Structure 1
Amino acid sequence: MDRPTASLRRRSIHRRTEGATVKIGIIGAGFIGGTLTRRLTELGHEVRVANSRAPETLADLAAETGATPVWAAEAAEDADLVIVSIPQKNVPDLAPGIVDARKPGAPVIETNNYYPQQRDGLIEAIENGTPESVWVSEHLGVPVYKVFNGIYWKHLLEKGLPAGAEGRIGLPVAGDDPDGKTIVFGIVDELGFDPVDAGPLAESWRQQPGTPVYGKDFGVDDTIAALAEASPERTAEWRAA
């Protein structure tokens, strides 16, 4: 594999999100989904957020952020970007075509992690080597981009910094389509992190739990090095018992 690249330091990108209000649908309102709802509304984006229950259960989050609570089946309607942030074991329970109402070409981010011992139980395909995000993509029936899966939610909420600031955290982004990846890079940058190109979705295992980059607040150079050092073999903590 070619070494991953830092989108901001290694090459310039056209930030299609800069200065524009983006319509974002978020499916999942847990630690990461809720944090992204808070941060993205702060940035002025239009957010529709859903959980596995009725919209009224998100009344407090809506009142705090100004996001619009909706049913999960409505979250992606006319969205420029969709984020799926739910427990891995619940992905097969999502309705078929749940992200199909987004705008044509709108990227779909997934932030999930497979925690077999801690939460999800055995998912045989992943245990047998299918990268977690490839498995999610297959269930959703659309290409996805893997990002936000390895950062602690409080750091996602509190540690964003302006571009060029010392100590800015690098976040790996895996995905296949360059145009969609540009949009995702722009959102990561707006949130205060350096997007690092982690290669295609087939190599998204480089940022799964147990890899050198997972759970670390590395800068760009260390993120690139950690991705390059990763192994596709799952460590004992992150395999089904």
Structure 2
Amino acid sequence: MSSQGAPERPIQVLGIIGAGRVGQVLARLARAAGYRVLIAGSGDPARIAGTIEAVAPGAVAAEASVVARDADAIVLALPLPQLHTLPSEALRGKLVIDAMNYWWEVDGLRADFGDLRTTTSETVQRFLPDSRIVKAFNHMGYRDLDEQARPAGTAGRKAIAVAGDSAAEVDVVMRLVDDLGFDPVFAGPLSAGVMLEPGAEAFGADVDADRLREMLARFPTSQRGIVVARARGRAAR
């Protein structure tokens, strides 16, 4: 138990792989919330150490393999095509939070990421079969993440959706979302992450929990939802 009497956090050390804008913002928010933070970029940790210290004082730059080994949960905040560079062995058995997106304009047309019969987070799960994947932090822009964090109970507090197959793992990530300054909203199983991907109404949303739930509820009848349903219907026949 903490000195305030609240249950101990299930995540004590948060790892972040990806030191771009989203990774830096999440590192700052996590440090402000009292988490220990390890963060990895794409190269020598010394190259980003000064930037990370300036943005998120107390966060430690490290190799991706060290982040994966030593953190209790790891956020993936790197470009999705770099998925295959992850230290999969070190991530074995770990809670992995997928904050990545597929941007075809930048990433190119990729059959492995653009297949509407599945989701990018399910693709991540297939690549990391021994990790526990939960989707979160991908649908809100980094500027809103940076500027909109508020204490629990604040009127109009913004919301972040969480999707995952394990209720226990989802609960852990929802606690993290709350600690970082946002109201967590359960979106459904990992397959429901399609409602949070580019092209869906909730993608880019900077709204409160009630409005986010409304967006998720509308997905099946939205243009994107209909396109996804048709793709999956054809696959089922």
> Could you say which TM-score interval applies, normalised by the shorter chain?
0.7 to 0.9
Q: C-alpha separation between the residues in 2 aligned to 1:97 and 1:194?
A: 33
- Give the drift of 1:232: 6.3
What is the SS of the residue equivalent to 1:75?
helix
- Give the drift of 1:126: 3.0
Q: C-alpha separation between the residues in 1 aligned to 2:187 and 2:71?
A: 25
AA in 2 matched with 1:121: G
Of residues 220, 227, 230, the one that matches 1:233 is 227
AA in 2 matched with 1:94: L
Partner of 2:67: 75
Q: C-alpha separation between the residues in 2 aligned to 1:178 and 1:184?
A: 10
Residue 198 in structure 1 maps to residue 187 in structure 2: yes
Partner of 1:35: 25
Residue 85 in structure 1 maps to residue 77 in structure 2: yes
Partner of 1:169: 158
Q: C-alpha separation between the residues in 1 aligned to 2:153 and 2:114?
A: 39
Q: Name the structure, 1 or 2, with higher relative contact order (CA <8 Å, separation 6+).
A: 1
AA in 2 matched with 1:50: A
120-129 or 168-177, which deviates more:
120-129
TM-score by length of 1: 0.83
What is the SS of the residue equivalent to 2:213?
helix
What's the RMSD between the two structures over aligned residues? 1.9
TM-aligned CA distance change 1:124 to 1:57, over 3 Å: same
TM-aligned CA distance change 1:209 to 1:71, over 3 Å: same
Q: C-alpha separation between the residues in 1 aligned to 2:7 and 2:138?
A: 22
TM-score by length of 2: 0.84
Partner of 2:115: 128
1:55–1:71 contact (8 Å) kept in structure 2:
yes
Tell me the percent identity.
32
Aligned residues between the structures: 214
- For structure 2, list consecutive stretches of 5 or more residues without a partner in the other structure: 1-5, 220-224, 229-237
- For structure 1, list consecutive stretches of 5 or more residues without a partner in the other structure: 1-13, 235-241
2:157–2:208 contact (8 Å) kept in structure 1:
yes
Q: C-alpha separation between the residues in 2 aligned to 1:35 and 1:206?
A: 23
Q: C-alpha separation between the residues in 2 aligned to 1:127 and 1:81?
A: 27
Partner of 2:144: 155
1:41–1:66 contact (8 Å) kept in structure 2:
yes
